[in-house]
Amino acid sequence: MNQGLAEDQAGSESGTPKALLGAVIIMGVMIVAGVAVMIGVIAHRVMHPHHDVSISAPPSGSSTRLALPLGEGEHITAVTARPDGMMAVTLGRPGAERVLLWSPEAGRVMAELDFGVPPSAP
């Protein structure tokens, strides 16, 4: 009586396709490689810690007031933070606008672009 067992048939291969066997082997290798990479990343981070930049607050008794140099009738129309820590501040007044590159850390204007009314020719 044949019950379909591989041991009963001499010299026959198991019914597992070679593609499935190859996929299982590849996945096993990928798991081992992934674990090795993960252990390497953890070891690297332990040996080379990354220190975050912390912003120190001024002492509680002192406060710093930063002010932009606004002209007569000017108002802030837009503020854009830049990756280098400076801020691009757009100021508007009737008939003209200007853009300031302002460094809050230094508390001063680093550059200015004026879109004022061009001087009239005499």
b/e sequence 43-67, b meaning 16+ C-beta within 10 Å: eeeeeeeeeeeeeeeeeeeeeeeee
Query: pTM (2 decimals)?
Result: 0.43
Q: What is the pLDDT along the chain (122 residues), one digit of tens a residue?
A: 556 555 555 555 567 789 999 999 999 999 999 999 999 999 998 998 776 655 565 566 555 666 777 778 888 899 999 888 889 999 888 888 889 898 888 888 888 888 776 665 45
Name the residue ranges covered by the structural domains of the chain: 16-51, 75-115
- Strands lying side by side in the sheet with 96-103: 75-81, 87-93, 96-103, 108-115
- Paired strand residues for 92: 75, 97
Q: How many residues does the chain have?
A: 122
At 110, is the secondary structure helix, strand, or coil? strand
